[in-house]
Amino acid sequence: MKILVLFVHLVSSNEGSNQTFLILFIHTLFSDESQFGWGYSQSDGPKTWGGKCISGKQQSPINIQQNNANIANYAKLNFINFDTIGSVKIMNNGLTIMASGMQEWNENQPYISGGGLKYNYQLVQFHIHWSQMNENGSEHTIDGKHFPAEIHLLHIKEGQSMNESLHQKDGIAVVSLLVNIRYNSSVLTAFDEVFKTLLLNSYKGGPTVVQQYRPSSILPTNYDSFFYYEGSLTTPGCEESVIWLILTEP
Ligand SMILES: [Zn+2]
């Protein structure tokens, strides 16, 4: 068992008067061998995952070279029902911290459309990748550079099950937020609430419920431009069924 701690203590002063104080404190226990039979250590990391993770043709994550990216005009990416307030389940599964439960919001379930997508895609969960998992922070890189954290919002094609979506080329759409850790990061501030909830309830193995969660709190203010490519899940079995929409916080 190893204990990994990311402690970010960010202070900004607002014209010398009011102090904004934000603490992002993640203190989780990760076992060297995960409950899934795979993980991120030497012995069970990506090189050992096998299957499509090794033999696939469009595996994620990738390094995005901005010079090689084509500029395309897509319709605006729409985040619908992300302003709805509902309850989410927060779970530390040993590999990530994940929020889910939006499928139970029925007609209020958040979804995305536009942005080059041919269908609506419904939000089923979001989770974070940061340096505790892989020592690098983000999974995707831009011009070879990692970001301190990467948040994935996983959506599946409207009206389908996860299993159906896994087996279609365009079954899943993941919005990825590449996040800088700094005092004015609204995305991290929003995620900070999720972490705090988890910590206050301490890790008991089961999910913690947050009653009044508004998914839009996690979105960056500007999502007019993003990187779009077709790739895969970044966890076993690495199914090549994912449309990636990658946003960076300005
Ligand atoms: Zn992910």
User: Could you report the per-residue pLDDT of 179-211, keeping only the tens digit for each?
Assistant: 876 555 565 666 656 655 655 554 455 677 888
Q: Is 83 left (phi over 0), alpha (psi -120 to 50) or beta?
A: alpha
- Gap from CA of 19 to ligand 1 centroid (Å): 34
pTM of the model: 0.82
Which residues, 6 or more positions from 164, have their beta carbon under 8 angstroms from its beta carbon? 157, 171
> Rounded to the nearest whole angstrom, what is the distance from the C-alpha of residue 126 to the centroid of ligand 1?
8
Of the candidates 82, 81, 105, 245, which has an alpha carbon nearest to the alpha carbon of residue 178?
A: 245
Q: Containing H/E element for 230?
A: strand 227-231
- Residue 23 is encoded by which pair of tokens? 């603490």
Using the mean position of ligand 1's atoms as its centre, give its distance from the Cα of residue 153 in Å: 8
**Low-confidence winner among 72-76, 95-99, 122-126, 243-247 (lowest mean pLDDT):** 95-99
Average pLDDT (40-61) is 89
The answer, yes or no, to whether residue 75 has pLDDT greater than 50, is: yes
Angle CA 92–47–68, to nearest 5: 95
CA of 3 relative to ligand 1 center, distance in Å = 21
Average pLDDT rounded to a whole number, residues 48-53: 90
**CB 171 within 8 Å of CB 241:** yes
Nearest CA to 173 out of 41, 40, 60 is that of 60
Question: Does the pLDDT value for residue 59 go beyond 80?
Answer: yes
What's the fold here for domain 74-248?
Carbonic Anhydrase II (3.10.200)
Buried b / exposed e over 51-70, threshold 16 CB at 10 Å, is: ebbeebeebbbbebeeeeee
Q: Supply the pLDDT for residue 46.
A: 87
Tell me the CA–centroid distance for residue 89 and ligand 1, in Å.
17
From the CA of 202, how far away is ligand 1's center (Å)?
A: 23
**Which tops the pLDDT comparison, 236 or 4?**
236
Residues linked to residue 7 through DSSP beta bridges, in sequence order: 25
Q: What is the CA radius of gyration of the chain?
A: 18
Assess whether pLDDT exceeds 70 at residue 178: yes
What are the boundaries of each domain within the chain? 74-248
For residue 151, the CA-to-ligand 1 centroid distance in Å is 7
Contact of 125 with 154, CB cutoff 8 Å: yes
Percent share of the chain, pLDDT over 90: 42
Residue 29 has pLDDT above 60, yes or no: no
Contact between 60 and 247 (Cβ < 8 Å): no
Helix (H, G, I), strand (E, B) or coil at 105: helix
